[in-house]
């Protein structure tokens, strides 16, 4: 079974990841503060991750992705 992959965006670095987070958050009319509170994180953290902070803790970033509705997929290439 094939799925339309047109919405799949490759993630190569934290800048791209942050961009996706921001875009998706705004698409839902959420503020950084709302997302932050929903995840138990600081507004500060959300702001920095959206700007591509490479030293952010990955566990918290995963919370953020879940909160704004972005699924993550790993694809082992050959």
Q: Tell the smallest beta-carbon distance from residue 38 to its own copies (Å).
A: 16
The residue (of 50 and 65) whose beta carbon lies closer to DNA is 50
Tokens in use for 17? 């990841």
Give the span between the Cα atoms of 71 and 61, in whole angstroms: 12
Burial class (CB in 10 A: 0-12, 13-18, 19+), 10: exposed
Binding mask 24-63 for its own copies (x = CB under 8 A): x--x--------------------------xxxxxxxxx-
Contacted by 45, from its own copies, DNA, none: CB < 5 to 8 Å by type: DNA
Q: Which residues contact 54 (CB under 8 A, 6 or more apart)?
A: 13, 14
Residues that bind its own copies (CB under 8 A): 2-5, 7-14, 17, 20, 23-24, 27, 54-62, 65-66, 69-78
């Amino acid at each position: 079974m094939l799925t339309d992959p047109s919405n799949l965006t490759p993630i190569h670095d934290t800048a791209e990841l942050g961009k996706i987070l921001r875009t998706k958050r705004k698409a839902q009319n959420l503020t950084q503060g709302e997302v932050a509170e929903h995840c138990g994180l600081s507004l500060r953290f959300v702001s920095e991750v959206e700007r591509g902070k490479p030293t952010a803790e990955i566990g918290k970033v995963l919370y953020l992705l879940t909160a704004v509705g972005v699924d993550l997929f790993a694809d082992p290439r050959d």
